[in-house]
Every structure is written in structure tokens, then in C-alpha cells.
Amino acid sequence: MAFKAKIKVTLRPSILDVQGKAAQHALDNLGYCTVESVRIGKYMEVTIAEELRAEAERVCSEICQKLLSNPVMEDFTFELEPVN
């Protein structure tokens, strides 16, 4: 069995999102003045070949902490779904 992990990585609220600010400024220039803020993050899908959901969660959490996110500046969340 395997699980597909849908991972979202975002900057922590206290970290200035330079890309988000640039996108917000560009949207304002395009006439979208009602857009008050933009935060830009990353989305990843990873397939994990584990039989047990708990083990897939452990592996996903570890890879997020060690490689896919910067724990000093970013937070991550993930959802697992079984893959047949």
C-alpha cells in the first residue's frame, strides 16, 4: 500500500513575504485594489510506500522537517490519502 501526501509549506506569519508583496503590488497595478494581501507558498505531492498510515505520517513529517521546509522560517501541513 502507499499514501499520497499533499504538502503545503508557507512562510510563518512573522516572516516578510517578499514574493507575496510583489504579487500584491502587481495586482494593485492591474486594478485589483480589493486584494489586501498575498502570501506565496509551496505545494508538493509525495507518494510514500508504507502499509500503515501512522508510519506514512511519520515519514512525511520527517521529510518536511529535514528537506521540504525551512523550520526556522516556514510551517508545513499535510494530508494523506491512500493510493491503490
Q: How far apart, in Å, are the Cα atoms of 41 and each of 12, 16, 53, 56?
A: 10, 12, 26, 23
Residue 40, C-alpha cell as written in the block: 506565496
pLDDT band per the 50, 70, 90 thresholds, residue 60 = very high
Question: What average pLDDT does the chain have?
Answer: 97
Q: Check whether 84 has a pLDDT greater than 90.
A: no
Statement: the pTM of the whole predicted model exceeds 0.75: yes
Q: What is the pLDDT of residues 7-38, one digit of tens each?
A: 999 999 999 999 999 999 999 999 999 999 99
Q: Is 10 in contact with 78 (CB distance < 8 Å)? A: no
pLDDT value at position 58? 98
> Structurally, what CATH architecture does the domain formed by 2-83 represent?
2-Layer Sandwich (3.30)
Residue type, 67: L
